[in-house]
Chains A and B, each alone.
Chain A
Amino acid sequence: MYDPLQATMRVGASGLEAQSRRLRVIAENMANAHSTGRTPGSDPYARRVITFESQLDETADANLVRVASVEQPRASFRVEHMPGHPAADANGFVRMPNVDLVVEAADMREANRSYEANLQAIRQAREMITMTLDLLRTT
C-alpha cells in the first residue's frame, strides 16, 4: 500500500508540471502574437492550445495529470492593411496570427491560480506528514 499523503504530493507535483507546460504554451502564443509569414500569402503563427488528461499511476494508485496534446485549433487569421510588409498580398493586406492577448492573459491567470492550488495541496500534505511524525517526537 502506498502512503496516501505521499501520493498526494506526487499528484500535486504532476499538477505543477502540467501547469508549467501550460504557461510555456501561453508564453509562446504571447511572444508570437505578431509573427507573420515572410512571403506574400504565407501563414502566420497559429495559436496553440494545450489539453490535459488524467493518467493512472500504478505504484501510487493515484490519478496524475499529464499533457495530452498541444494543438492548433482551426481559426481564421485576421488581416491588417500594411503595404510594403514582406508578407503583404497584392492589395497590401497581411495575415496576422489568431492570438488574442486578452484571452492569453486570462489563460495565464488561470494557470497561475491552478499552480497555486496544486502547491497548496502539496504544502498541506507535507504539513500533515510532519504533524503525524511529531507524535513520535514529543512524549
Chain B
Amino acid sequence: MDFGLPTQIAYPAIISLTFPFTLLLVTRLGALRSRNAAQFLAAVLLQGFVWILGSLALPDSYRPIHFSDWLFTAMLVASSFLFYLEVWALLSRGYTLSMLLTLLRAARPLSGEEIARQYRGGAGLDWIMRHRVGGLEAAGLVWADGRQLALTRPLGMLIAVAYRIAITIFGLRRTG
C-alpha cells in the first residue's frame, strides 16, 4: 500500500482537534445550559458547518475534490466526533463515574447504602430510574400504566428484540 499522507487530511485534522474548543463555547450558551445532549449536537453541527465551508474555500491541493475525497474526509471528521461522543456520554451520563464522584466528594469511606443515598449530589439512586424511564417514555418505547411500566408495540418491542440480538452477537453474559 502507499503510505504517503494525503494532503486533504490536514483540514479535517484541524477540525477534529479544535472540536473540544467549539464544545466549550457551546456549553457557555445560556439557552443550552444543562442540556448536555443538545450541547453536543449543536457543537457537531457548528463544527460540521465550518468543515464544509472551509473545504469549499481551501486551495485545490488541500480540499476534497472528488466524491472519494469527500467520503474520506467526512469519515475522518465523523470518527473524531464519535470519539468525543464516547467521552461526552461518559462525563454527562456515566453511572459508574458518578459513583466514583460520590466517593470523591465524601470525606470518609462510604457503605453501599450511603453511596446509593448520596448518589448524584444527594438525588439518590431512584433518580436514575426516573431519568431513564422518562427518556424511554419520551421516545415512545414504554408507557406508564398506573404503577406499572409497559412496553409499547411495535417500537418498544422492536428495540428490545434488536437489543437481544446485539447481546447474542457480542457474546455478552451480563449487560447494564
Q: Is chain B a partner of chain A in the same complex? A: no
Q: Tell me the B residues contacting A by CB distance below 8 Å.
A: none
